[in-house]
Each structure stands twice: as C-alpha cells, then as structure tokens.
Chain A
C-alpha cells in the first residue's frame, strides 16, 4: 500500500469494503482501509459509522495500523462513548508494557478519549505514570493532566498533587510540560513554585524551546508578584529621580520585618538574588532561534529588569523583524507599545523601522507608529525627511497614516510644528482626495492649538479655495475660516463673497459650511456681511437638498433678530463661537492595555505600578483564597492577581481594634433634591459618621427633608431602589405627613459594598416620584479604628507593594500646622488618628464599612511645604481615590 495511490479517498472502492477490509486478517488490507478512513477525517468528512469495525483493530500488531486506529478513536470516541469503552482494556494493558513508547502512547490515547466514565481510570493511570521510570512517560503524564482537568474539573485537588510531584522532577524533558499543566490547572497555586523556583531557573536553558516559552511566561508572572519592582520610583512618580522607597526584606521573623519596614524605606533598592538569577538565566535565550522564546524573554525583561538593563532586548526584537511577516506583525505591535514607555531603548535602531514600498500595508502602518513614537528633538529632521518619501507612496491608506503621523510629530515636538504645517499645506494641492482630506483634518487639528500664530496659514488656505476641488477639503477650509474669522478679518468676508457666487454649484457639505461661515461672520462682522448672509440664506432656502433648506431656516431664526425670535437669539454668538477644544493626537497604543489588545500583542504590558508585591520570604498563609482559574475568564491568566483577591484580611478585621467614636468635624451636606426640581420639596443629606444601628455594614446617611410648598406633603418614602449587585438599602420609615415650612430628619442605611457607585432610588410623596441618587465620597466608606503604633506598623508592613500608594504633595500655607492637617484629613475621610512617635508624621487608620479591610494613612511632613502621603489598603481603588481626596482637601 503506497501512500500516493491508496490515500485518495474518492477513487477508492465502494464504502462497504472498508469494513470488510478492516475485518480481514491481512495487515496490509487493514492499513489501506485505515489510511482511507483517516484521509476522510482529514477532509472533515464523517466516518463515524465505521466505529465498530475500527475499534476492533485497536489491538492490532502492526504499529502503523494501531496509530491510525488511535487517530480515529480520539476523533470519534466522544460521539460513541459506549463502543469506545471496548478499547479501554487494551490501553490499560498498554500502560504496563515494557516499551516506554507504548506505555506513553497508551496513556496519551487513553487521556485523549473524552469519555467521562473513564475519569477514575485516567486518574489512576496519570498517578502511576507520574512515577514512571521513563521521563518520557512522565512527560506524557504531565500532558494528560490538563486533558483530565478539562474533562472533569472536580479532580483538581488530586491533579494538583500530581503537579506538585512532577514539579519536583529534575529532568528537562518534564519541566516544560508540567509548568504547562500548572498554568492550565492551578495558576493560582504560586506557592507550589517557591521551592522549585531556582531549579526551574537553572534548568531553563536546557528545556526544549516550547517549554521555555511556557516557563518564562510563568516565571514572569511569578516574579512580578513576588519581587520588588526594580523601577518602583519611576512608576510612582514619573519624573522623580529620588532613591527607592522600598528596600528588600530578608528578615526572618515577621515582626522584625514590620519594625524594619519604615527603616527599609530609606534604604536604596537592592535586587533579590533570586530575581537576579532569573534575569541572568534568561538573558542567553534572547539568542534563541525561536521568536516566541525571544519575545517571552523580552517581555520578562521589560517588566522585571532595572531600567538600565532593559536595553538588551531591543537588539533581539529588531532581529525578529527580519522573520516571517506574521512574526514581524506581532513583534511590531509589541515594539509600538514598548516604545511609548521606553523610547530610548529602540532609538539606536531607528533605521530598522524604515519602510519599504514592498512591505504589506499593515506592517507599514505599524512601523510608522514606531517611528512616530521614537521621534524626538534630535532625530525629528531625519524622520520627517523619511516621511516625505512615504507621502509619495502609491498606497493611499499608508499615505493617510503618514499624514496623521506628521500631525502627531508636530504636536509633540514644538520645534518642527511650523515645518510640518507648511509641508501639510503643500499636500493640500495633492490630487488624491484621501490625502487632501487627511491633510486638512490634521492641519485643522494643528491650527486649533495656536490659531493666533497661524493666521498666515489660514490666509493661505483661504486662497486655496480657488483651486481645491475636493469637497471635504473645501468644507474644512470654510470651517476654519469661520472658526477663526477674527484672525483673518479682511479675508473672511471676501471668501464668503466668492462662495456666495459659486454657491449653487457647490457640493452639499460645502454648502452647509458656507451657511455656517455666513452665520459666524454675520455675528462678528455684520456690517460687511449682512447682505451676503441674507443672499446665501435666500439661495439655500430654495436649494434642492432639504438638509440645506432646514439648516438655512434654522440659522435664519437663530441669528436674525425678529419680533418672533425666541430667547435663543441672545445666545447665538455663544452657540456658534464657543471655544472648541483642540483634539489630542496621540498613539493609539497608549493606555489601551485591555486584555484583548494585550493578547493581540502577545505581551502583557501593564504599567509598572501594577506590580504586585507580596514579600516572598516566609511561607504563605495557608489556603490563600485566589480566584479559581475558571472564574478568571478566558484571557486573564496573564494578568497579575488582583490583590483584592489575596484577602487574608478577614481574620484581621475581626481583630483586636475597637471602633472609635467618629471624629466629628464640620459635617458636609450634599443636596439630594433641589427645591426647584422637587417642586418645593428640598432634600439634603450628610454622612453622620455614626454606626448605622442594626447593620454594621451600612453607612448611615442622615437625610433632611424640608417642605417649602404651601401644602402638606404626605407619605414620604423611599421606593424602587436601583442598586448594583451586592448593594443594599435600609429605608427610613415612611413620614406620614410634613406640614408646610416644616423640616424632618431621618436616617437611612446604605451598604455601598465599598465602592463609590451611586445608590439610585425614588423619593415618593403622595403625588410625585423623584429620581435621586446618593454617591458617597470615598472617605465616608470607612469607619475609624483605634490601634497602637506598633500594630499600625505591623499592619502597614503587610500592606506594601500594590496595596501601597504614595504621592507627593505641597502643603499650602494655612495647612502647615498639626491642627490643620488633622482637621483636613479627618474631614476628608472618616478615619481615626493613630499615635505616632515621630514628629511631623501623622497616622490615621480606618476600616471599610462593608468588608472591614484596613485603610492606613500616613502623612509625612518634610521641610517646608513638601509632604508625602501614603495610603496602605488592600482595596486599591479605595486607596487611590482616598489619596486624591485627601490631597485635594489639604490643598484647599
């Protein structure tokens, strides 16, 4: 049976003979039949009716027949579960075979048959294979783990045991496969990696390339959660060149660690030796022939290497650009994203991103993106010269992208703005509509930034109306002249005159802009343009296009004062000549780090302040509740664990601190319902900062209702709350009646679930319903707790890393006293003061109302006006918002 003739299925003998051939006792006939069947499977044809005949041959002696039977089985077993069971005993026998290849392939097929009944058999087989003598069989066992897990996720705990065992395996063959299984089954069990971390780092270079990718990605995630960020400064305060805030912590006991935490803060950053080990052992892999390995290392370095060392990856990434166009595409996406953050790294390779006319458009546009990101004062002239060649390209999409890129360079680098503008103005005479339209749009954006300095260009563009025929461009020019008519007071009416002359021959969008221009001129320079405007509006009144007729009618009513014209007439000038904000031109890669985008990039680029720190020394608290991989969603396994999930806090919140009576500052009131909107009923609320009786998880909201009408308001109550999931409301008891001029005060409780999402509900009276909402300031979502200085430090030591937010601020004159600072902080947030030994340092503590998570605030007052605010809380969002609020309060 030769491959070439027997394999083509359509020419073969009729179907019936396949099963006859499978029943024969000649291996060659069986083989031929099996080849035909596999060819059918390959073409996506259904061959499931032959199942009984095929499954009989599972024990066939001929190895090729056997392998093809395996292929068939794996494909159809799911559909024919009962019959598939017939083959199981053969595999069980195979598992005991002295030949390791047969043992391995029996396990492979057994675990690939997706029949739930055999889960226990599979489990047993995997466990046995995991301690097989042959590393190849152990590797196969590692591969089987995710298969079983996807079939039955209840086996997770047992599978984790197997993974733990295989992780301890010292052979390179197993390492990649077991890490793969780890990533699929239990990526959250980071604790399993601790004791294997160094071994994995050391084995890495000898692991086969696919395993390397998986291990590097896992180690990147591990290191990002376990080590300190080497570039912490940079991420906290972009420009701050100060020494690192965080030190490494290698103390043995937790207590000592906490004590040292504040000291360590002043120590410079020292890299953990294990962190260094990882960087050292991955670096040679930048030389790998496999692009995926190189990219994985690049990604690791990008996130984990100190700024000074990241540069090495640029060279390797540039090398990948010579590879297949798909590789090039993905690499360029990554470079585009990386170059926003670390421009300097790619600058020496600027020329490698120059575009050839033969590049596919998608590559050209990505390269353009990179070139634009790399542009700076020194290289801008070279880049612009290069762009000039691109503008003449035949690929019009690319030309349009180039024009956009020039616009971005012009906005970012002030020096070349005029050059760029002039260049773009010249493009206005291009024959291609797309080019002109794109240039006009970009010029428009650039001019909007400094219209005053560019009246020359506006004048120039005004002249262009004589020549340019592209309607889009004409319309844009007219808009510009109208918008900045005060900069070109002499030309604008003249342009209007010309346009009025040619009005009937213009395209619709141009006509609309002529009307627009006329209206604006009428408002600013009615003396010269009154008649012209009238003329244009009259022409438009009888236009064929109803849009234009409508617009003319509308504008006439708006700008020409008549007896009938309404109140809007007064505001016509404001309506038309309002200051329009200049559009922002920036990279589309900036800040778009959503999971999907990232995924497309192949690299997870989260800004470094997402670095999560959880100091590694010392064992982890048992059973860290981390999301199971299922609920993380499909594409989030790369994302660092959200610290909110690392909640070993509940035990602490039940801890020894008593609740303090709230610090009463000046209580701020907020308006719930204005007198006008409430038809005389006005409602105000404030956060009383008292515990809400009955439910400690609720924030007490005091509501003051005044009746300013001259009638009695009856049955005031809350109804139909619209709340986000988890939020609860405890309504106040219904107020039977409220006499005119009277005021009532009630308290209601709201559980905001520690979020600043508004609680929406209706306030009902006997006649009306008012939709109202209460949005809590973040400072009201907590209640003060008392703790000692030592406790405070200890807790703070546990809440570092991602849970710590630090910001610098300047204290204004009047806030430079103890009293003022305490007053401002306590008014901004419901916190209690914690005693502090050091001068000029203020500490406050609170816990959130719903979950009881600690919020620790430290304000360090340095010389003069400088101060630094630190908030430690596992609720990062709350922490961030709180920092903002407190700074705002202190600045007032």
Chain B
C-alpha cells in the first residue's frame, strides 16, 4: 500500500526517505513541490496529489511534511491516519516531532518505520508493542548500553502482538498503582456580531494515565452518560457494555492514552462562558479606525476564566495599531497582520479592555470586512457539559489503586464575528 515515505521540512529539503518496496526516486516529490507552490500557504496543499505514476498523500505536522508515495488503490484516509500515527509515535518517543529530533534519532526512526509497516501495510502501530520492540532513548539507557553493550532492540515477540489485547503488555509492575483521568472539554462556537450564538458544540475527550500492575479490568461509570451524543472509543473499550449499560469497561493500555472522545451537540444548549463587546470601525477616506474590545465572563458556574488570549487577523490595509490594554499585553505583527492580546485571568469587577487607534495605509480603500476574533480560555475544575464521573471500579487485581479525575474546560475553535 504505502510505497515510500519522504519527510520534507519547510524549506523544501528532503531530510529522510524510507522505501518499503523498490526504491522510488526523490524526483517524485517535485509534483509535491509544485502543488505546494501553487497552494501559497501550507494549509492549502491538497492532501491527495495525483501524478502520472503515483499518488502522493501528505500530511503536515509540526512544520514537517510527511509525503507518502502510493501505487495501488488505497483509501486516502487509511494513509492519512497512518501518517498521523507515525507522527504521534515520534512525539511519544522523542518528546517532540521536529526535524532535529528526527535527525538526531535517525536510526531509531528507521527501526520504528521498519516495524510499523511491512511491505507498505501497517504491522505494529500500538505504542505499547513498539516500546517493547524498540526502547525509547533515554540518557540513562544510552549510558548503560554503552557500558554493557546491550541494545535498544528487544529480541522476543512483544506479548501484545499475540493476545486479544494487543494494546497492553504482560507483566507490568508498579509500586504505586495509579489511575488518572482528565476530562477535557473544548467549546467550539461561532458567535455572531450581535452576540448571539450561531453554532456551538462541546468536543470532549478523556485522556488517561494508567499505571497499574498486572491485568486490571476497569469499570468507569458516569453520573449522566446520556449527555454523550457521539462517542469514539479506544479499541480497549467493550462496545457491548457501553451499548447496554452505558459504562466504560476496559483493560487499559499501560501509560498515557486517549480513552474516549465525545461530542455534546448544539441541541443541548451549550453554555458560553465569556462574552465579547467589540467596536471595530474604519472611517471612509481617512487612514485610521477605531478598535475597542472588552471581554467579560458569563455562565461560568462560579469558576474563574483564565488563560484568555485573543488573536485577530487584521485586514491587509492595517499598518499599525496603537492600543492600550487595561490588563495583559498585546502584540501586533505588521507583517502577518496578527494582533495577539494575552489577557490572562478575567476578574468580573474589572473587565479587561483593549482600546485604541488603527492606522491604515493612506490612500488604500477602507477595508470592507471586520476581522473575526479568535478567543482562547481555560476553566479549571469544570466540565462545561456537566459530565461527571461517578466511580471507577477495578477487578482482576487485588491491590487498591489510587484514583483521580480532573476536569478542565477550554475554548476550542471559538470565534466571534464582528
């Protein structure tokens, strides 16, 4: 399926290539470069490019293009999903998926790619299995290896490969047995000019960090499972139990993983925790405009809204901005025309405000459009949908684990139109 993979950095250097079948010349990437040039900015490079003899399917992650060469018919999502899994694995192994990290660990990268695909078909993509085959680099291990001469590569078949639960390895042992769940909810919203909600929904995930010995069998139940509108599961979750009892029953992978992601759709009236008052205007026939934005809290269930950041892509005609912020600091990049206002925490007594003059290119016509405001924020200890974990039970092992649940609400794609 996947014939070859090329990793390309932003300046167009091919810094890694791997072939799973016969070698495909680097020149095939020229088609990609051509498309990249046509697309102007990186986001608009089409993920599927057809060339006379191959198809190129690419993803863009962390300033690297992963370009795969395909010769037979294959669902594009199959390849895209796999490439993202590769990037995730690099992230997992090296802490970051950057060009330097990959170049520094090129041998491990090669060994990983060799294990992940056989003849272009995915072989082992579970992080638990890969880590048994190829141990992630740590300083301690490289010191030990250079003294003892042992290697990073395992010589037995990972236990997961054979079992029905490939995501977990056998013989896990911890002195402190812990299970943590982070319920993270993001609000996607479009707010229109007048402040009414055009569209809003909640995208939630439960990320887990499970460090439990042996083969624990976990049951996680919610106070209000009906809230979850559409759920996607980690393969470890028993679907039938969810269907019939609405509990999550699973033998977890070892370590960090995403247990479920879910959606609470707009039908259930999503509470919007902040409001924005804005006045942005450009005067006809003059080279200036006014900018006045205030952010205030709303429906936040008594919790503080913090980590507020506002980014605005100003129109091209804007030369500079002279603003004063009552709170936090702002920057305006005259090249990209991006205004960023780092507000911090919102205190209801004194609402943060950013106000001032916009300088326009003289002679240029007044911009017709007002920019939309992208807001980020964070609320600790709150799941905005009201989702609550009821209890976590463990079967199959004797010890008592330490359990913890953390809630957090963030802004996802939160946009205010002006």
Contacts and interface: CB of A to CB of B under 8 A. Distances in A.
Contacts of B417: 357, 389
Contacts of A296: 75
Interface in B296-317: 313, 315-316
B82 A78 contact: no
Contact of B81 (A62, A99, A327, A329): A327
Interface residues of A, number: 104
Contact of A392 (B230, B368, B415): B368
A7 interface: yes
Given A147-B119, A354-B190, A3 B108 contact: yes
Interface string A40-64: 0111100000000000000000111
Interface string A111-155: 110100000000000000000001110001001101100100000
A876 to B, nearest CB: 23
B73 A637 contact: yes
B170 interface: no
A38 B110 contact: yes
A327 B1 CA distance: 18
Contact of A599 (B41, B47, B73, B142): B73
A330 B155 contact: no
B43 to A, nearest CB: 4
A163 to B, nearest CB: 15
A11 interface: no
Contacts of A289: 232-235, 258, 261
B119 A7 contact: no
A214 to B, nearest CB: 8
A145 to B, nearest CB: 9
B76 interface: yes
B146 A287 contact: no
A208 B166 contact: yes
A208 B370 CA distance: 49
A361 B151 contact: no
A421 B67 CA distance: 45
A290 B199 contact: no
Contacts of A35: 107
B18 interface: yes
Contacts of A147: 119
B51 to A, nearest CB: 12
Contacts of A8: 103-104
Interface range, B side: 35 or more
B360 to A, nearest CB: 14
A730 interface: no
A180 interface: yes
Contact of B164 (A64, A101, A206): A206
Nearest to A635: B73
B9 interface: no
B269 interface: no
A7 B107 contact: yes
Contact of B374 (A290, A325, A358): A358
A327 B121 contact: no
A63 B239 CA distance: 40
Interface string B348-389: 000000000000000001011111101000000000000000
A354 B374 CA distance: 15
Interface string B16-28: 1111011100100
B413 A351 contact: no
A104 interface: yes
Taking chain B's interface residues, is the majority helix, strand, or loop, or is none over half, making it mixed?
mixed
Contacts of B14: 44
A3 B155 contact: no
A635 B125 CA distance: 27
Contacts of B17: 42-44
A35 B368 CA distance: 59
Contact of A42 (B60, B110, B239): B110
B72 interface: yes
A319 B75 contact: no
A362 interface: yes
B223 interface: no
B137 interface: yes
B22 A78 contact: yes
A62 B188 CA distance: 53
B230 A316 contact: yes
Interface string A797-809: 0000000000000
B281 to A, nearest CB: 14
A381 interface: no
Contacts of B164: 172, 206
Main secondary structure of the interface of A (DSSP, over half): helix
B55 interface: yes
Contacts of A329: 46-47
A481 interface: no
Contacts of B111: 67-68, 71
A564 interface: no
Interface in B208-243: 229-235, 239, 243
Interface string B30-58: 00000000000101101110100001001
B151 A351 contact: no
Interface in B108-164: 108-111, 114, 118-119, 121-123, 125, 137, 142-143, 145-146, 149, 151-157, 161-162, 164
A394 B315 contact: yes
Contacts of B230: 315-316, 318-319
A326 interface: yes
B103 to A, nearest CB: 8
A348 to B, nearest CB: 9
Given A7-B106, A75-B19, A393-B369, A180 B239 contact: no
Contacts of B199: 351-352, 354
Interface string B185-200: 0001010100000110
B151 A43 contact: no
A84 B155 CA distance: 24
A384 to B, nearest CB: 14
B81 A71 contact: no
A602 interface: yes
Contact of B151 (A31, A44, A431, A599): A31
A665 interface: no
A28 interface: yes
B375 to A, nearest CB: 12
A288 B232 contact: yes
A821 interface: no
B73 A638 contact: yes
B345 interface: no
B399 interface: no
A111 B316 CA distance: 58
A143 to B, nearest CB: 5
B320 interface: no
A28 B149 contact: yes
Given A205-B239, A637-B73, A327 B80 contact: yes
18 contacts: A4-B104, A39-B107, A71-B111, A101-B155, A135-B162, A143-B119, A172-B164, A287-B239, A289-B258, A318-B230, A322-B188, A330-B48, A352-B199, A356-B413, A392-B368, A430-B368, A596-B50, A634-B71
Given A28-B146, A394-B367, 9 more contacts: A7-B105, A38-B107, A208-B166, A318-B230, A357-B371, A357-B415, A360-B44, A599-B76, A637-B73
Give the top 8 A-B pairs by smallest Cβ distance, nearest first.
Answer: A360-B43, A64-B151, A326-B47, A101-B157, A210-B122, A2-B142, A392-B369, A292-B77
